[in-house]
């Protein structure tokens, strides 16, 4: 699922004030005890000290955003997860059982009703429902309350087409319009439901990649304007990365090989920031992050600060816009200790131009050596869903 685009309206700069220490003076303890009195006119250096102290704490808070992780309660269905702001529940599922769990706070979980089969694709949401792709017959399950009361099944035959469903994405929060893509013998079959998951489905006029392509679909996102959708494909023979664009709500698609434009990397994930118009793609090396402000016509490589650690050679996956100017991307299988490989995040606070490993790097924020499958946010916390022996989640306040 593409990012939910919860716009947090974060400021783009800190409240920089009186950085020349000669212009600040800390008030005496007695003054701080009583505070300003009526008709006081505080000295400029005292006020500068107060503003400068606020500025320093803003910098501290900005530097530690998404660094302070703590492990949440283990749930047995946490491989895929999502929060729906319109409904107010978190939902967790996995690919090996039909179990679902729901939560109102991301910490305390309760068992919901079972899916018709195990979830096979990352969860999606629309303005009314939670949507799961289940791996028996490639049906859809949907629920208006994260499975608390029931799940309704949309049979694969109703959707039409053949093959495994690779991605389902919506226009959330704009509407309940859905696009689903499935792969059958090298052909991507696009299905569209303009009236929501329970509505009627129609086939697209053209598919996003040429017939017979062996590319894997990695992400599908709506840009929030002009009925424009983006689909990212790549394969290992080359490698090649294809960006496909539809400007008519998925009915017809044009595709461009962007492999050379993004440094020959194999694209593994993308997301789009509707407010800034920035598209970010991550690739098959630890420092391959690229951004485009013109829907993929031109690309700029982001700067990654590994804080003195060697550049990893493993993949970046699941890049997600989180709100404001914040992004996160999963860094796969970085060796952090003799215990073996793990996963962590790279974080950007400037709309994807620069990235860094969290200050707590070396601490396994996933709670084990598993795989982070889905990143979600409720606007206050970021949640990582993935597998680690048992399926777990971890949260960070943003």
* 308 and 204 in a common domain: no
Question: Residue 57: what pLDDT?
Answer: 81
In a domain, 45, yes or no: no
In a domain, 64, yes or no: no
In a domain, 211, yes or no: yes
In a domain, 296, yes or no: yes
Domain extent, residue 129, equals 78-257
Split into its structural domains, the chain has a count of 2
* 312 and 209 in a common domain: no
In a domain, 345, yes or no: yes
* 309 and 189 in a common domain: no
Question: Residue 136: what pLDDT?
Answer: 87
* 296 and 241 in a common domain: no
* 323 and 200 in a common domain: no
In a domain, 340, yes or no: yes
Strands 289-292 and 278-282: what pairing?
antiparallel
* 117 and 92 in a common domain: yes
* 234 and 101 in a common domain: yes
Q: pTM value?
A: 0.82
Which residue reads 């702001």 in tokens? 85
Question: Residue 308: what pLDDT?
Answer: 62
In a domain, 22, yes or no: no
CATH number of domain containing 100:
2.120.10.30
Indicate whether 345 pLDDT > 90.
no
Phi, psi of 384 (to 5 degrees): -105, 125
* 363 and 237 in a common domain: no
Tell me which of 257, 289, 307 is where a domain ends.
257
Tell me which of 257, 275, 309 is where a domain ends.
257
Tell me how far CA of residue 32 lies from CA of 45, 48, 98, 166, in angstroms. 14, 14, 59, 61
* 247 and 219 in a common domain: yes
Tell me which of 223, 257, 291 is where a domain ends.
257
* 389 and 301 in a common domain: yes
* 225 and 337 in a common domain: no
* 240 and 126 in a common domain: yes
Question: Residue 367: what pLDDT?
Answer: 45
Question: Residue 85: what pLDDT?
Answer: 92
In a domain, 301, yes or no: yes
> Between 360 and 14, whose confidence is greater?
14
> Between 346 and 293, whose confidence is greater?
293
């Amino acid at each position: 699922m593409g990012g939910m685009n919860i716009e947090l309206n974060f400021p783009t700069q800190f409240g920089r004030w009186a950085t020349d220490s000669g212009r600040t003076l800390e008030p005496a303890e007695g003054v701080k005890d009583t505070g300003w009195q009526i008709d006081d006119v505080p000295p400029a250096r005292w006020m500068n000290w107060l503003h400068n102290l606020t500025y320093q704490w803003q910098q501290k808070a900005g530097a530690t955003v998404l660094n302070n992780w703590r492990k949440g309660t283990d749930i047995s269905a946490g491989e895929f997860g999502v929060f729906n702001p319109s409904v107010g529940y978190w939902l967790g599922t996995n690919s090996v059982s039909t179990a679902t769990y729901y939560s109102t706070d991301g910490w305390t979980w309760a068992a919901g009703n079972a899916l018709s089969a195990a979830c096979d694709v990352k969860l999606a949401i629309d303005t009314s429902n939670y949507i799961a792709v289940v791996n028996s017959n490639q049906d859809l399950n949907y629920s208006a309350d994260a499975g608390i009361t029931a799940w309704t099944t949309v049979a694969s035959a109703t959707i039409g087409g053949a093959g495994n469903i690779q991605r389902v994405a919506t226009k959330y929060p704009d509407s309940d319009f859905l696009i689903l893509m499935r792969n059958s013998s090298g052909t991507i079959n696009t299905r569209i439901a303009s009236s929501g998951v329970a509505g009627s489905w129609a086939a697209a006029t053209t598919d996003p990649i040429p017939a017979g392509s062996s590319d894997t679909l990695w992400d599908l996102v709506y840009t929030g304007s002009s009925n424009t959708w983006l689909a990212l494909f790549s394969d290992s023979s080359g490698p090649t990365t294809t960006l496909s664009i539809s400007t008519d709500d998925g009915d017809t698609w044009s595709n461009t090989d962007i492999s050379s434009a993004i440094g020959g990397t194999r694209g593994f994930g993308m997301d789009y920031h509707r407010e800034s118009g920035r598209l970010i793609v991550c690739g098959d090396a630890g420092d391959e992050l690229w951004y485009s402000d013109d829907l993929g016509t031109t690309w700029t490589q982001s700067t990654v600060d590994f804080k003195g650690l060697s550049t990893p050679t493993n993949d970046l996956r699941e890049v997600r816009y989180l709100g404001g100017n914040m992004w996160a991307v999963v860094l796969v299988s970085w060796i952090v200790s003799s215990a073996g490989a793990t996963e962590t995040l790279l974080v950007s606070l400037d709309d994807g131009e620069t990235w860094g490993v969290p200050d707590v790097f070396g601490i396994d924020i996933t709670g084990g050596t598993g795989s982070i499958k889905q990143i979600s946010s409720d606007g206050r916390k970021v949640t990582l869903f993935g597998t680690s022996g048992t399926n777990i989640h971890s949260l960070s306040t943003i």
